[in-house]
Amino acid sequence: MLPLVTRDQLKAEMDAGKVIVVDTMPTAYYEREHLPGAVNIPGFPYEEAARRTDELAPTVLPDRTAPTVVYCANVPCRNSELVGARLVSLGYTDVRKYREGIEDWVAHGLPTQTAGD
């Protein structure tokens, strides 16, 4: 299991420019709404999560030592755990998870972006 980060911790790190945020939702969901500045590595369908992470991580996460936070929709969603665990297996050294996901972020009135932003 990945170390967890709270909404407030994540927001502070994002505001300070000290973290890379990875949306693990399918591309269509990412394009519709994601946390500001997030990159996308889809973790669904689950059986494709490892392959997609292997393909996309070198491009969207070139620094394997950068503080990185993965998230998906909510607590039951498995996407972020699958992508995050794969990142760790690929040698990423600082991967945490925002377990409550974008539903929590939006419920607390925090800003989001679309693919066109």
Instruction: Give the model confidence (pLDDT) of 60-84 as tens digits.
Output: 999 999 999 999 999 999 999 999 9
Q: Please check whether residue 3 is in contact with residue 67, taking contact to mean a CB–CB distance below 8 angstroms.
A: no
CA 9 – CA 62 distance, rounded (Å): 23
What values do phi and psi take at 83, rounded to 5? -65, -45
**What pLDDT does residue 5 have?**
98
CA 51 – CA 7 distance, rounded (Å): 28
> What global pTM score does this model have?
0.96
State the pLDDT confidence band at 1, using cuts at 50, 70 and 90.
confident
Question: What's the mean pLDDT in 17-32?
Answer: 97
Q: Is the peptide bond before 26 cis (omega within 30 degrees of 0)?
A: no
Put residue 110 in one of left, alpha, beta given phi > 0 → left and psi -120 to 50 → alpha.
Answer: beta
CA 117 – CA 70 distance, rounded (Å): 20
What CATH topology corresponds to 4-108? Oxidized Rhodanese; domain 1 (3.40.250)
Task: Count Cα neighbours of 82 within 13 Å in the Cβ-side half-sphere.
Answer: 22
pLDDT above 80: residue 24: yes
